[in-house]
Amino acid sequence: MRSLRLAFLALTLAGPSLAAPAADRFREANDLARAGDYPKAIALYGELAASGQESASLYWNWAQAATARGAQGEALWALLRARELDPGDRAVARDVERLREALNLDPAEIAPEPLAAAGRFARRFRLDLVALALFALSLVAHGLVRVRAGLRAAGPVAWTALVLGLLAAAVPIAASSARPTATIVRRGAPLLDAASPTAEPTGSLREGEVVPILEASGEWLRIEDNAGARGWTHVADARRLDTPPAPPRD
């Protein structure tokens, strides 16, 4: 518990990076979490995320509060969402592994889409900007070759920069074709044969497993679990990793 409080205290310092009203709400949520009122803290974190005030720090705190109340699947989802926003955060990566082991999940069960990892790699190292810089260098070098025919060294530079730029651009382009995924946040969540609360369950889903989304229909997601079974689950049981949470319903 002391480590949880230290985590909340440290991450309160991240609040000023938000707009003033959002930073106040963030601190209020952290205060609630330190006081042990985890449901209200999580509700505030959710409101902030749904309003567009997302950050890795917010989801980190959300994960700590969810862990404290025993909702490990929700905690893992929050950490995975934090990793989407800040792929280079090593502390988040360590906590993802810790929770994965606590939930007795194989690494493949939280990474069903290899291209998603490529997307995080591209975001971490800003390969889109790297590709643009290399293309610009290639254009400049080609221009120098045309203007100054005697500047032979510019030719290899131009073609090398072009090839490297294409390789750098290929990673985020390939990653964009990855299927969206969701994390199962409720233990024993049913896999249904139709998008209806009265549908027949065909199996149950493992808390914390990450599943590809095949189709979305209102508050229902058609998914494929790690055993290859396909069916429907409610969005309350499977939270998407590619988008922020929906605002709370009135």
Rounded mean pLDDT of 191-205? 95
What's the pLDDT tens digit per position in 203-221? 999 999 999 999 999 999 9
The two tokens of residue 124 are 């971490």
CA angle, 99 then 246 then 93, to 5°: 25
At which residue do the structure tokens 């005030």 appear? 53
pLDDT at 22: 86
Buried (b) or exposed (e) across 97-128, using 16+ Cβ within 10 A? eebbeebebeeebbebbeebebbbebbeeebe
Alpha-carbon torsion (98, 99, 102, 108), positive or negative: negative
pLDDT at 2: 42
Q: Which CATH architecture has domain 2-104?
A: Alpha Horseshoe (1.25)
CATH of domain 181-240: 2.30.30.40
1 confidence band (pLDDT: 50, 70, 90): very low
More confident residue, 200 or 8: 200
Residue 139 has pLDDT above 70, yes or no: yes
Q: Do domains 2-104 and 181-240 have the same CATH topology?
A: no
Q: What are phi and psi of 188, to 5 degrees?
A: 75, 20
**Tens-place pLDDT, residues 168-180:** 999 999 999 999 9
Pairing state between β 201-204 and 190-192 = antiparallel
**Whole-angstrom distance, CA of residue 136 vs CA of residue 142:** 10
Q: What pLDDT sits at residue 141?
A: 87
Spans of all domains in the chain: 2-104, 122-175, 181-240
Which of 65-79, 168-182, 234-248 shows the lowest per-residue confidence on average (mean pLDDT)? 234-248
Whether this prediction's pTM lies above 0.85 is answered by yes
